[in-house]
Structure 1
C-alpha cells in the first residue's frame, strides 16, 4: 500500500512537472510568436515607410532628370491653338461660316497640348498625382486621333453614310484605349503605342471614300501626317533617338513629330475653308 502511494506520488509529481514544463514551453512559444509578430509588424512598417519615401522622392527624381525642354514644345503649341481658336471664331462670326469639323480638330489639339504641357512641366508633389496626369496625357492622344479623323470626315464627307461607320469605329477605339489606360495599369506602355498605331491606321479601309474628295496635295499631307504619327509612336516606344538627353531628348522628338503631324492634317481643311470664304 505504501509502495502504491509512492507510485501515485511519483506519477503526480511527474505529471505536475510535465505540465509546468508544457506551460513554460507554451509561454516561450507565445513570446517567440509575439516577437515574430513584432518583427513582422516592424518589417511591414518599414516597407510602408519606404513606399511613402519612394512616393515623395520619385517626383523629385523625375524632375531632376527631365530634359530642359520637356513639355515646352506642347506648351507653345497649346498657346498657339488658343490664339487660332479665337481667330477662327472671329472669322466664322464675320463671314457667317462655322465648320464644326475644324472646331473639333482645334479642341482635340487644345486638350492634348494642354494636358501634355501640364503633365510635363508641373512639379508634382506626389507620385499618385503624377501617375494620374500621366494617364490623362496618354488618354489625350486617343482623343486627338479621333478628333482629327472626325474633323476630316465630317468636313470633307459630311453627307456620306459610310463615314458614320468610320466615326463609330474611331471613337470605339478611343473608348477601348482609355479603358485600357485606367483599368489595366500594369500592362506595359508599349501596348498603348501599338493601339495608337492601329487607331491611326483604322482609316485605311475607308480610303475609297476619301478618294472621292481628296486632291493630290491632300493625299501628300495626310500620308505625311500619318507617317509622322507612326514614327513618333515608335520613337516614344523605343526611347530612341535621344539626341541631347539633358535638353532635347527622345520625348521632345516625339512631341515635335506630333505637332508636325497635326499641321499636316490641319492644312487641307484650312485651305478648303479659306476657299469657301471667297
Structure 2
C-alpha cells in the first residue's frame, strides 16, 4: 500500500491597494509619474514662444542688413586668388616666393571669410557665426603683417628681420587679445588696427629711395594705408550711411579694404618685377 503524502497550499491574502502604493514608493518601482497636462502645455507654449521670438529677431536682422553687405569682398575674392597666383609665379627666389605667399594667404583668408560671414549674416547658426566673426577680426591684424612681409624683403637684413619680428608680434598679440576678449569694443580694436597700420610710415622715406620700391611703389603703399584707415574710421564712427538699406558705413569699410588691397597689390607687382 502506497503512502500518499498530501500537501496543502497556503492561500495568501491579497495586499490592499494603499500598501501596494507604499511598497512602490519604498522600492522605487512602478510607473514613472508623467507631468500633468497643464504643465506640458505650459512648457510647449513657452518653447513655441521662444522659437517665434527668435524668428522675429532674425527677420528684423535680415531686414536691417544692407543688401550689398559682403558683396564687395565676394567679388574681390576670386580676383585676389588670381593676383596671388601671378605674384607667386613672378617672385624670384625661395625667400621672396615665401613672403609673397604669406601675403596671398592672409588676403585670400580675409576676403573669403568676410564674404562668408557677411553674406550669410543672420542665417548661420550662432556657433558658426561666432567663429567666422573671430576669424574676420583676427584677419585685420594678419593682413597688415602679411602686406609688410614682401616689401621688407627689399631691405637690408638688419632692417628686415627686426621690423618683421615687431610687426608680426603685434599682429599675433592683437589676434590673441581678440580671441580672449571677443566682445571687446569696436573702437579699441580699431585703434590697435590703425596703430599697426601706421607702422610702415617709419619706413616710407627709405622706401622712396629703395631701388626696388621707389617713388611709385611708396606712393601706392601710402595710398593703400590711407584707404584702410579711412574705412576703419567709418567703421568706428558707424557713419556715414550713403544709401541706407543698400550701402552703409560697413560697406564703406569694406570698400576701404578693397581699395587698400588693390594699391598694395600693384605696388607689390612693381617691387617683385624690379627684384627679378
TM class, shorter-chain normalised? 0.7 to 0.9
Residues 1-80 of structure 1: pairs in structure 2 closer than 5 A? 58-80=57-79
Q: Distance in 1 between matches of 2:53 and 2:170?
A: 35
1:185 aligned residue (182, 185, 193):
182
1:115 matched to 2:113:
yes
Q: CA deviation at 1:55?
A: 6.0
Please state whether the residue corresponding to 1:241 is helix, strand or coil: coil
1:202 matched to 2:199:
yes
1:163 corresponds to = 160
Q: CA deviation at 1:50?
A: 8.3
Q: What TM-score, normalized by structure 1, do the two folds share?
A: 0.72
Task: Provide structure 1 residue ranges, at least 5 long, that are not aligned to the other structure.
Answer: 1-41
Q: Distance in 2 between matches of 1:88 and 1:186?
A: 37
Which whole-Å deviations, capped at 9, do the CAs of 1:185-213 have from their partners, x for residues lacking one?
A: 34211101000001111223444543541
Q: CA 1:187–1:232 in 2, change beyond 3 Å: closer, same or farther? A: same
Q: CA 1:89–1:174 in 2, change beyond 3 Å: closer, same or farther? A: closer
Please state whether the residue corresponding to 1:150 is helix, strand or coil: helix
1:153 corresponds to = 152
Q: What TM-score, normalized by structure 2, do the two folds share?
A: 0.72
Q: CA deviation at 1:89?
A: 4.9
Q: Distance in 2 between matches of 1:219 and 1:141?
A: 22
Q: Distance in 1 between matches of 2:261 and 2:267?
A: 11
Q: Distance in 2 between matches of 1:84 and 1:206?
A: 25
Q: CA 1:227–1:65 in 2, change beyond 3 Å: closer, same or farther? A: same
Please state whether the residue corresponding to 1:161 is helix, strand or coil: helix
2:22 corresponds to = none
Does the aligned pair in 2 maintain the 1:225–1:265 contact within 8 Å?
A: yes
Q: Distance in 1 between matches of 2:50 and 2:164?
A: 44
Q: CA 1:224–1:165 in 2, change beyond 3 Å: closer, same or farther? A: same
Q: CA deviation at 1:51?
A: 8.0
1:228 corresponds to = 227
Kindly report the root-mean-square deviation, in angstroms, between the aligned alpha carbons of the 2 structures.
3.0
Which whole-Å deviations, capped at 9, do the CAs of 1:87-107 have from their partners, x for residues lacking one?
A: 4455569x9996333222222
Does the aligned pair in 2 maintain the 1:166–1:203 contact within 8 Å?
A: no
- Which stretch shifts more, 256-265 or 215-224? 215-224
Task: Provide structure 2 residue ranges, at least 5 long, that are not aligned to the other structure.
Answer: 1-41
2:171 aligned residue (170, 174, 196):
174
Q: Which has the higher helix share?
A: 1
Please state whether the residue corresponding to 1:99 is helix, strand or coil: helix
Alignment coverage as a number of residue pairs? 230
